[in-house]
Amino acid sequence: MKDSLTHRFMLFTTFVVVSIMLIHFTWDYRTQRAQATLEMHEKAQVITKQLIATREVIAKNQDRINYDSQGNFEFKHLNPAAIGMQIGDIFGQLTNYSIKQTRIDYRASCNAPDAFEAQGLLRFGQEPHLAEIWGEDVVGGERVFRYMVPLHMKEECLSCHGQPIGDIDITGHFKEGYKAEDLGGAISLIMPMDIFLQGMKVDVYRHLSFSLLLIGVIVISMYLLVTRLVTRSLGELKIATAQVGQGNFDIDLNCIKAQGEIKELAQHIQEMANQLKDLYQNLEAKVEKRTHQLELANEDLRIKQDELEAANIKLNEINTYKSEFLAIMSHELRTPLTSVMAFTDLLLQELPKDFIQERQNLNYIKANSQNLLKLINNILDLAKIEAGRLELKLEYVDMADVLGAIDSVVAPLAKKKGIVWEINLAPEVSLLRADPEKLRRVIENLAGNAIKFTPSGGRVEIQMTNAPRENWIIIRVIDTGIGIPPEEQEEIFERFTQVDSSNSRKYGGTGLGLALAKELVTLHKGELWVESEINKGSTFVVYLPKDPDKVD
């Protein structure tokens, strides 16, 4: 119940109303307190001014008071100070106020200043233009309003308080030596604040009672209004939506007594329930229809799957036949080619050197037989790789030996074509674990291609260094040849593919060398790629681990 909408709404409303009432109450209390203080201040001003006026009248009429009609002087003890003391006594008896004349060097003990008055006299002495001092204080355990005004010496006062200092005046006291306008004391008024505070309390209680009544009326009215217009309707909507959630769509929300947005919400829920009812009634038929369609689709999928499996089996058989055919043909062709090459060597040895044309023909036969044998070996290796029968014979290889063997084959070709040929091997990468023959074939194939596609006067270089990755090496075959277009740099590693079909006629070749090189590098768990620009040259990069068995 504490989390209900009504509870939260009423709690918020009560908080807002109470906050506003507290602000108004605080502001009203301070206003009344300020008004009461202002009234006491004005009243104190009137009382003290009346006493000051009385003193001035007495001071100005001293001669009339002390001289009789024959001109005889007789001091009547009705000077301003004495009259002020008498007025203070009578005023205190008639009221609960206290008024007196006070100064630091007082003559009568009843005029002795208390702490508040002494502080006031000190301020009047330090601040000559200060006209009054007032404030609240506690006297005898009672809250009072204190008010003081300064008394300055008039000409009439100097006869008793003036020069010379120490002479006896007519009252029998020593003169103080004051001059006109000197501070001669102050009038101090004490006014009880009970009557003012009591009036404030009555007003406060009246306002508080009215505020509490107003809060109660507002809260009860808001509660009834919210309950009737909001929460009751929402409760009915909650019950209806719960029934819909349980599958009961036969609800009627048109009878809900609601207005505005809640009425619109009820209409939307009613429409939703009607739509859900229609959907539910048609759901079984739709599910049956979709199930039948799914069964047909699954049957079609199964048929397609069977066809695909049959096609895969047939394709595997074709690949097997192709691999076996290529392996058999390659193997069967190697024997007669070897014989042809052997007989060619024998004829070259026995043929006299002056048979120049015949020896050129035999060398041509030998060179083409060697090229054909390389092609057959490449085809045989690719067939073994496809069949998964080509294995690496790993051993620790001195790359200086491998590159030396490559140099003995490629260097004459470069020299014959007028190409600068260089090999740069970093000493720290001379040893690695690999299949030396297959690695030699990879590098020799890349170097041979570089020589083939680099014109006379060009440059071909083999670089071998450590890779940034630990325990890996990089072999680069760099040439200044014709280059490879960006769109063909991936295709050249496919079988029977060259940079341009015209190149197969111009430069020769079958397009198997790079495909085999990539396969052999992959067997070593490495990578092979090319970086090239047209008419600027190419760099074939071989990225190899120093030990393939340690690569995950």
**Is 355 found in the same domain as 457?**
no
- Please check whether residues 379 and 399 belong to one and the same domain: no
Is 214 part of a structural domain of the chain?
A: no
> Does a structural domain hold residue 229?
no
**Domain annotation covers residue 223:** no
CATH number at 425 reads: 3.30.565.10
Q: Let me know the angle formed at the C-alpha of 267 by 264 and 273, rounded to the nearest 5 degrees.
A: 145
Number of domains the chain contains: 3
Let me know whether 401 and 520 are in one domain: yes
Strands 459-466 and 420-425: parallel
* pTM as predicted: 0.41
Contacts of 250 (CB under 8 A, 6+ apart): 277
Residues 378 and 425 placed together within one structural domain of the fold: no
Q: Is residue 339 part of a domain?
A: yes
Amino acid at 473: I
Torsion of CA 366, 367, 369, 375, to 10 degrees: 160
Where does a domain end: 143, 174, 200? 200
One domain, residues 423 and 472: yes
Query: How many residues appear in the chain?
Result: 552
Answer whether residue 452 is part of any domain.
yes
Task: Assess if residue 233 is contained within a domain.
Answer: no
In angstroms, the CA 82 to CA 172 distance is 13
In this prediction, residue 498 carries a pLDDT of: 58
Q: Are strands 183-192 and 395-398 parallel, antiparallel or unpaired?
A: unpaired
Which pLDDT tens digits describe the chain residue by residue (552 residues)?
455 666 777 778 778 878 887 887 788 778 878 888 888 899 989 989 988 888 888 878 877 777 777 777 777 777 788 888 888 888 888 888 889 889 888 878 888 898 998 999 999 989 989 999 998 888 888 889 999 999 888 777 776 777 788 778 777 777 777 787 788 889 999 988 877 777 777 777 787 788 788 888 887 887 777 776 666 666 666 666 776 666 666 666 566 665 666 666 666 666 776 676 676 767 767 777 888 888 888 888 889 888 888 888 887 777 676 666 666 766 676 677 777 778 788 887 888 888 888 888 887 787 777 777 777 777 777 677 776 667 889 999 999 999 999 999 899 999 999 999 999 999 888 789 999 999 999 999 999 999 999 999 999 999 999 999 999 999 999 999 999 998 888 888 886 655 554 454 455 555 678 888 898 999 999 999 999 999 999 999 999 999 998 887
Question: Do 193 and 308 share a domain, yes or no?
Answer: no
Q: Are residues 273 and 164 part of one domain?
A: no
Domain that holds residue 111: 5-200
Does 349 share its domain with 494? no
What is the per-residue pLDDT for 501? 47
Which sign does the torsion angle of CA 69, 74, 77, 81 carry?
positive
- Confirm if 473 and 541 have CB atoms less than 8 A apart: no
Beta strands in 453-513, from DSSP E residues, in sequence order: 459-466, 472-479
The one-character DSSP state at 231 is: I
Question: Which value, in Å, is the radius of gyration of the alpha carbons in the chain?
Answer: 62
| Torsion from C-alpha of 255, 260, 265, 266, nearest 10 degrees | 0
Say yes or no: 385 and 400 in one domain.
no
Single residue among 160, 185, 200 that ends a domain in this structure: 200
- DSSP sequence for 112-149: ---HHHHHHHHHHHH-TT---EEEEEEETTEEEEEEEE
The predicted pLDDT at position 119 comes to 92
**Residue 361 token pair:** 């023909």
Among 369, 390, 411, give the residue marking a domain's end.
390
Q: Cα(209)–Cα(418) distance, rounded to whole angstroms?
A: 117
For residue 215, being part of any structural domain is answered with no
Domain-located, residue 238 = no
Kindly state whether residues 128 and 261 are assigned to the same domain: no
